[in-house]
Amino acid sequence: MGRLFGTDGIRGIANQDLTCELATQLGRAAACVLTNKSNRHPKVLIGKDTRLSSDMLETAMASGLCSVGASVVTLGVVPTPAVAYLVEKYKADAGIMISASHNSFEYNGIKIFSGDGFKLPDDLEERIEDIILGKSDISGEYPDAAGIGTVTRAENATRDYIDHVKSTVHFSLDGMKIAIDTANGSASTTAETLFTELGAQVTMLNDQPDGVNVNRDCGSTHMEGLIEYVKTHPVDAGVAFDGDADRCLMVDELGNFVDGDFIMAICALDMKSRGKLNHNTVVGTIMTNMGFQRFCEDNGIHFEATKVGDRYVLEEMLLRGFSFGGEQSGHVIFRDFATTGDGQMTACQLLSLLRRREAKLSSMATLMQRFPQTIVNIQVSPEGKLAFYTEPKVRSAIDEAAEILGRDGRIIVRPSGTEPLLRVMVEGKDEELIRQLAEKVAKTVREELV
């Protein structure tokens, strides 16, 4: 990867790392790289989440795009998967989502989709970076005054997306009572309508965005409020999304947390029983819980692991024709219906499955036994992230922990692709042991890299 793009687009603190100038440059570069050269006015969609800086960056991106002749269609506040779906439905050349996903409001980000609704591969991101960093010249791409692009608004974007998600559900949610936490993010524009029209009785939580409260003590990164609500109210499930609604985590009717691995286990076994799980395979990542891998072995399902990031899960699915995959964090990809992780689609598929089977989420979640897992996040500088790969004391501490765990556990230490963090994950059968090992390795990281 280059210096701008991480595992999920470009991300940083708005007006500091991610400036209007950078957004304008990115708009120009993306239009030149992604659009058909024979198309004088390529069409580019722009969606955004609810954070305060999204309007500013949307305007800057549109300016850059128009300056090279692109026709911009703004979608307003929509989930990221809506952009991925609508770029193909509206026959656009590219789609852009302005969002920092699960990060707090001061961050923002830019994700780019090609005309077929897929996130960009590394080589295209590198070509865009080369233009922004001055390694490629696009001065010849600027049109005369008559060729400058225009900006219009797609008035039916949320309706078209809601109808698409509804079309993937073949068993209604009639009679179900669910609590939905939209993280004061993109799902606040779609979730109540979507789930109500599918037949559910819906209680909305954290659906009043004000520009600065996205993900603040709510949503999929802060499940405590939803768990408490479910424990004190008679509902069948709680559903939590992140800021741009591309991930989903859940709470069963007893108030127990249900993460992406449990969701994938339930859906994968059901898909296998219906002949919908291509090659009897699920794609996860190196962070997928060992309990999920054992679940797959016990149920005749093959498991493939990729690098962390739903883009890499999808790449493996496309390469080998798999139909289902995702991450523990709640990015789940139903390839029969979508080109990216979609939190609301995931919730719809799982809740519909429960209604069809007349089952409780708590009983279905027992299909998999989760291995205890501890994750310690350590804030580091970009230089610290790079030094991690070569620092001998850190490597030695990791190797020592791995030797102690043996075959009954594992340790993974990796830089975050979306935040200035190193993540130490230790997993195994002995909860106290993995906690101690995680803290010991984290202590070494802090001493040597912070």
* Active-site residue set: 101
Q: What are the b/e assignments for 358-382, b being 16+ CB within 10 Å? A: eeebeebbeebebbbbbebebebee
Q: Give the separation between CA 440 and CA 450, rounded to whole angstroms.
A: 15
Of 49, 45, 327, residue with least CA distance to 182: 49
Of 432, 421, 435, 242, residue with least CA distance to 347: 242
Rg (CA), the chain: 22
Q: Give the separation between CA 396 and CA 404, rounded to whole angstroms.
A: 12
Q: Retrieve residue 92's tokens.
A: 């656009």
Q: Give the separation between CA 151 and CA 128, rounded to whole angstroms.
A: 22
Of 151, 149, 75, residue with least CA distance to 113: 75
C-beta of residue 160 within 8 angstroms of C-beta of residue 84: no
C-beta of residue 314 within 8 angstroms of C-beta of residue 333: yes
Q: Give the separation between CA 48 and CA 55, rounded to whole angstroms.
A: 8
> What's the DSSP call for residue 174?
T
How far from 355 is each of 52, 143, 244, 343, CA to CA, in Å? Answer: 38, 56, 27, 19
How far from 77 is each of 49, 50, 380, 399, CA to CA, in Å? Answer: 5, 6, 32, 46
Give the position of tokens 């078209």: 160
Of 25, 9, 248, 241, residue with least CA distance to 113: 9
